Amino acid sequence: MLFCHVLQPEDEHPLCLPQVLIESTDVIQLAPTVVSNLPALPFMKQTPRRLLTKTLYKKVQFHLFGKELLFEEMALTWEEWEPFLRSRLVTIRPGLQVEAGRYRCQRCHSNTPEKFGVFPCVRCGKECTYCRHCLMMGRITACTPLFRWIGPPPPLELKVQSTWEGVYSAGQELAAAEIVSSVQSKTELLVWAVCGAGKTEILFPAIEQSLQKGEHVLIATPRTDVVLELAPRLSRSFPGIPVTALHGKSDDKNSYSPFVVATTHQTMRFTEAFDTVIVDEVDAFPYTADEALVQAVNKAKKQDAAVIYLTATPTPELIKRTQHKRLDLAKIPRRFHGHPLPVPRFKWCGPWRKRLKKEQLPAAVSKWCRTKIAEQTPVFLFVSSVAIMEKTTSILQKLDPAICGVHSADKERHEKVKAFREGEIPILITTTILERGVTIPGAEAAVFGAEDSIFTESALVQIAGRVGRSHEQPDGEVLFFHFGKTKAMAAAHKHIKTMNALPFLQKEVTPIGKEEST
Ligand SMILES: [Zn+2]
Ligand SMILES: [Zn+2]
């Protein structure tokens, strides 16, 4: 299918239309060609001139708003598209565009040459370039048009009211107020909240206000686990509004709601859709490692949207931005229950890799594990690789066959975490996959082989943050078993001590410019 730019009678600005819809009254400005050869057109006002049935109008409006979709994703014929295109309710844009001699995918914003391949294309019958980076969402090629809704947003007749009835800690209360003010003034804010500060609840007032105004709210996170945990909590707290949860395997992909919780990958589906964007666990993999994901989140938000970054361990780049006053900062150094963070202890355990080869654990590690099993304290045991996890698990299973290991590609991962939560697994040996997002009341944590470079300062702080999260059991042991102390271990220790030393009341939220010298 080829596309052209045409002027309709009385039009000042061109439209992009497929060749099949050209009429004799249209003046062709740019001759029919592959869509990626055409420049993207600016968005013009609607010019209603074709009749549309209400049902079809609503269907397209709800399905397409805030997104850019492929022809195949909408199941409409060109004849059905025509009135939308001619009235400028929908515009067609090229899926790939050439910028400075390079292709850029307009859906995932990827532009690295390795991300593009060439294949014999059935759409255009030629050798055609396509984007590999977002292939799992349907192939975008040089001949692919993207459909975008530029008409009015879907009307909302929803009663949005948070039903959350918990009580904020002093720190939460101040941070919640900062978030409300950022969302109202459409600015950026970093919320640096220690693990267990209760950062989800502090979003509620801002989310409620934004939705009540008819705005669109996105919570994006690099981690599928967080989407799975957040979506039901948000549904319970905002019963008046459907929450769309998007991750690789979700069924919600075609439903419309102004309230979306999505993995950062899934934000590629959206374009200038959201007034408020909250990026939870902003420093987590793969968001920080993949510039295209940062671009995707940027593309999903409206240009003047409020952006709230949430984390317990901000990246050096984010901290630098706050220091240069290019990003506001609100800090919550205390947990919601008011108790300090458990401070990790270091325990030397000798050349443990050699021992593992002989099917043995260092005495210190096995002694600690036996004590915890006897005490019936659930324990996370973090290790640096799948191979070490498997070996350690098989050795520890001799103590108790219910002991389990888990890693990111484990198909039973969610079942195992559930069983651990329900007390069926005494020790869960895990790779860093569980360093965040999992809350097991009363659990303690140890890192076995803490000197491995995979255990960065932030990974170790997050791991320590798994402990002492409940009101009933606000403390517990965090042990780093090591064969040589690292800078990251020392930094994590200092990080936690510093947070614990920060004042508990009043100064917990220190807006930029008002920070007192400490
Ligand atoms: Zn792409
Ligand atoms: Zn093609």
Mapped to the 3 state alphabet, what secondary structure does 398-422 carry? Answer: CCCCCCEEECCCCCCHHHHHHHHHC
Q: Are residues 315 and 353 in the same domain?
A: no
| pLDDT tens per residue, range 6-47 | 999 888 889 999 999 999 999 999 999 999 999 888 888 777
Mean pLDDT over the full length of the chain: 90
One domain, residues 87 and 140? yes
Judge if 444 and 470 occupy the same domain: yes
Total-model pTM: 0.85
pLDDT surpassing 50 at residue 261: yes
When mean pLDDT is compared across 58-72, 85-99, 238-252, 404-418, the lowest value belongs to 238-252
| Contact by Cβ (8 Å): 449, 486 | no
Asked whether the predicted pLDDT for residue 512 surpasses 80, the reply is no
Show Cβ contacts of residue 116 under 8 Å, excluding neighbours closer than 6 positions: 96, 103, 105, 129, 130, 131, 132
From ligand 2's centre to the CA of 149, what distance in Å?
23
Mean pLDDT in residue range 305-324:
92
> Is 42 or 351 the better-scoring residue by pLDDT?
351
What pLDDT score was predicted for residue 47? 75
Q: Please enumerate in sequence order all residues whose Cβ is within 8 A of that of 69, keeping only pairs 6 or more positions apart, or say none.
A: 63, 146, 147
How is the chain split among helix, strand and coil, in percent rounded to 5? Answer: 35, 20, 45
Q: Which ligand is nearest to the CA of 139?
A: 1
Q: How far is the CA of 143 from the centre of ligand 2 (A)?
A: 4
Q: What is the pLDDT of residue 372?
A: 96
End of a domain among 332, 356, 372?
332
In a shared domain, residues 179 and 59: no
Is residue 129 in some structural domain? yes
Answer whether residue 447 is part of any domain.
yes
- For residue 185, the model assigns a pLDDT of 95
Same domain as 362, residue 497: yes
Of the bound ligands, which one is closest to the alpha carbon of residue 145?
2
From the list 139, 113, 183, 194, the residue with the least C-alpha distance to 462 is 194
Judgement on whether residues 111 and 244 belong to the same structural domain of the protein: no
Q: Is 100 part of a structural domain of the chain?
A: yes
* DSSP class of 271: S
Q: Are residues 385 and 470 in the same domain?
A: yes
Indicate the SS3 state at residue 45.
coil
What is the pLDDT, as a whole number, of residue 375?
A: 95
User: Residue 485 — φ and ψ, nearest 5°?
Assistant: -65, 140
User: Which element (helix H / strand E) includes 130?
Assistant: strand 127-131
> Does residue 510 surpass a pLDDT of 50?
no
Neighbours of ion ligand 1 (CB under 5 A): 105, 107-108, 110, 131, 133-134
Question: Parallel, antiparallel, or unpaired for β 90-94 and 68-69?
Answer: unpaired
- If you measure from the C-alpha of residue 100 to the centroid of ligand 2, how many angstroms do you get, rounded to a whole number? 21
358 found inside a domain: yes
Cα–ligand 2 centroid distance for 120 (angstroms):
8
* Cα–Cα separations (whole angstroms), residue 109 to 67, 218, 405, 477: 14, 19, 37, 44
pLDDT the model gives residue 504: 58
Domain span at residue 355 reads 345-501
Task: Please indicate whether residue 167 or residue 404 has the higher confidence score (pLDDT).
Answer: 404
Residues 266, 128, single domain; the answer is no
Note the ligand closest to the C-alpha atom of 137: 1
Instruction: Write out the two tokens for 112.
Output: 């690295």
pLDDT tens digits along 384-401: 999 999 999 999 999 999
| Of residues 26, 27, 84, the one with CA closest to residue 50 | 84
Q: Tell me: do 426 and 284 sit in the same domain.
A: no
d(CA 27, CA 351): 78
Distance 133 CA to ligand 1 centre (A): 5
Q: Same domain for 354 and 313? A: no
Closest ligand to C-alpha of residue 103 is 1
Q: How remote is the CA of residue 141 from the centroid of ligand 1, in Å?
A: 9
Residue 70 confidence (pLDDT): 92
What is the Å distance from ligand 1's center to 129 Cα?
A: 11
Among the candidates 277, 304, 332, a domain finishes at: 332
Looking at the domain assignment, is residue 15 inside a domain? no
Residues 496 and 355 in one domain: yes
User: For residue 367, is it within any domain?
Assistant: yes
Bridge partners of residue 369, in order along the sequence: none
320 and 182 within one domain = yes
Residue 21 domain-assigned? Answer: no
**Sequence-ordered list of residues with C-beta below 8 angstroms from that of 313, at least 6 positions apart, any chain:** 283, 457, 458, 461, 462, 495
Q: Into how many domains does the chain fold?
A: 3
* Lowest-confidence region among 87-96, 149-158, 205-214, 371-380: 149-158
For residue 219, the domain's CATH number is: 3.40.50.300
Last residue of a domain, one of 332, 364, 399: 332
Q: Give the number of whichever ligand sits closest to the CA of residue 129.
A: 2
Cα 15 to ligand 1 centre (Å): 24
| pLDDT score of 475 | 92
